[in-house]
Amino acid sequence: MLYFIGIALIAFLYSIVGHAGASGYIACMVIFDKPVSLIKPTALILNLAASTLNSIRFCGDGHLKKYTLVNFLIPILLVSIPSTIVGGNLNITDTLLRYFLSLILFLSGIRFLITSLIIKNNTITDYKLPSKIVIFFTGSILGLLSGITGTGGGIFLTPLSILLKWMPLKTTAAASSVFIFFNSLVGIITWQTINNFSKINFTSNIFLHLIIVLFFAFCGSSLGSRTFDDNFIKKIISFIIFLASFKLAFA
């Protein structure tokens, strides 16, 4: 029961900021001693389900404009998808890499928490999308990290976009949700080519996982897109990044 409460809470909180929750699902499954061989594919399946709802909600509410789609999201996806395939085929157990990423996320979480507490109103207006060179470099790195970690990459894209003032927060959430969807889809396909979906026991609560995730992702994304203000969402992002940092360091 506690395990499914954890999955529900993760789906809800992550969806508020347009994330699908892979890093949280992985942490939850590790904590509750789920079979290691099933953690990555299960997390990607749940990620795909949640990111589908998040994309529909945030994009449907008008947070992703055509200019951002053409000049940022499509180019970064074109680069990240091949990198995700490469990352998914790597079997990296480099502890140093995990600790490095954990530290970066932890520091980002502190930054979000401090700014959300100090800055009461969202007054930033000088957003500017990065150059094509930066987009291609970022996409290749984030795709690689996505494939290696078994996440959709949004946990890395969101703090980068907001801290570098590429896009407003809810535009970032919309872009991240679509980014996560495609990278999770590629991750699932890549995993399938290496393994086999029959290894996932679909009679062992996988459909219950999906029902829980879809319901709470719908609730979370609706509140994040329509109700919560930017500073509250930054606090949620801080919590999510801290959770992801913990997962990378200790899972």
Query: What are the distances in angstroms from CA 189 to CA 80, 85, 88, 232?
Result: 15, 9, 10, 35
pLDDT number for residue 178: 93
Distance CA 248, CA 99 (A): 7
pLDDT score for 211: 92
> In 3-state terms, the chain is what percent helix, strand and coil (to 5)?
80, 0, 20
- Residue 118's φ and ψ, nearest 5 degrees, are -85, -45
Residue 127's pLDDT is what? 87
Q: Which of 169, 139, 156, 168 is nearest to 241 (CA)?
A: 156
Among 33, 137, 152, 42, CA closest to 88:
152
Whole-number pLDDT of residue 235: 78
Give 34-71 pLDDT, tens digit per residue.
777 777 788 888 999 999 999 999 999 989 999 999 99
Q: pLDDT tens digits for 103-141?
A: 666 766 776 666 666 555 555 567 899 999 999 999 999
Of the candidates 37, 23, 25, 139, the residue with the CA atom closest to the CA atom of residue 84? 139
Section 14-33 average pLDDT: 82
Residue 203 has pLDDT above 50, yes or no: no
Alpha-carbon distance 181 to 190, whole Å? 14
Copy the structure tokens of residue 86.
Answer: 């490469």
Structure tokens at 77: 């996806």
